[in-house]
Amino acid sequence: MKRLWILLLIIFSSFFSYDYLMAEEDYTVTSSGVYFGGRASRMEWKAGHKHFFGYLIGPSVGIDYRRPDYLYAGYRFYWMWGPLHAGECHKNISDMDMQGRLGYTFGKTLLFTPYFGLGVTAVAFKKSNSVAPCHKNSYADVYIPIGVLLSYHPSSEFSVGVDYQYTPEVDSYYKAKGFHNIAFELGKKGQHSVEFPIQFCYPKPRFPYVQYRIIPFFRTYYFGRALMQCGCACQCDARITLPRQLAYEWGIRYEIAIW
């Protein structure tokens, strides 16, 4: 895998030299603005020996200040909801993520933006047709997004790119109804995400400051083990260890960009 990344880097460098990266553009590069739209995905959630599958849908918004050879700042937010199934076991899941970014953009028409920031992921579950004390539970993960946003703008009406992000954990939390004294064991590996934004306008745009974005994406989730002790709702002294939670999500976003 490491050799593959090195080979891709060599091929990429041969096509896009430093002189090309710094070439002056003769048109307006539009990469700053407000984005809003919808997000749909397929999720696979693994908890111990159980594998849950389902589809999620929800809104997404964001804002970017990204100009050639200048400071970069951005913000992302989305919320998703949907049912997950593992045989006869059913859960409803809500998934929220928000993050802020800071970085610097190099280049004129081929924009290269390394960045870092701070983000929060919150995932909540509710078991269907269950009245058990712990039928509601949720995870929260505070992380530092470290990534690279690369986009090529052959014209002011079209661009294509890739946004890769690694998100090492800062801290994690777990909450379950009826339990207290919950301790998290942080995982050694962080989470990953990759997006492929395609931005365009129609040949004769009705609105000169509006473009559209189609963004296929892939993302992983990872939460460490949680050690729980029953609270007063259960009236017991048992200690329960939850398995690691690992999930994969892939889907697509459709957004409207306003400059």
Tens-binned pLDDT, residue by residue, of the chain (259 aa): 555 455 545 544 544 454 444 445 577 888 899 999 999 999 998 877 778 899 999 999 999 999 999 999 999 999 999 998 887 778 889 999 999 999 999 999 999 999 999 999 888 888 765 545 456 778 888 899 999 999 999 988 899 999 999 998 887 777 776 666 666 655 556 789 999 999 998 766 677 789 999 999 999 887 766 665 555 555 455 556 666 678 899 999 999 999 8
* Integer CA distances (angstroms), 140 to 96, 119, 220, in order: 9, 11, 15
Q: Return the CATH number of the domain spanning residue range 27-258.
A: 2.40.128.100
pTM of the model: 0.80
Bridge partners, residue 180, by sequence: 229
* Domain extent listing, the chain: 27-258
What is the structure's pLDDT at 101?
97
- The full DSSP string for the chain is -HHHHHHHHHHHHHHS-HHHHTPPPSS-----EEEEEEEEEEEEEEETTEEEEEEEEEEEEEEEE--TTEEEEEEEEEEEEEEEEETTEEEEEEEEEEEEEEEEEB-SSEEEEEEEEEEEEEEEEEETT--STTSEEEEEEEE--EEEEEEEEEETTEEEEEEEEEE-EEEEEEEETTEEEEEE---SS-EEEEE--EEE--SS-SSTTEEEEEEEEEEEEEE--EEEEE-TTTT---EEEEPPEEEEEEEEEEEEEE-
What is the structure's pLDDT at 133?
47
* Cβ contact 37:59 at 8 Å: yes
What is the structure's pLDDT at 203?
67
What is the structure's pLDDT at 173?
76
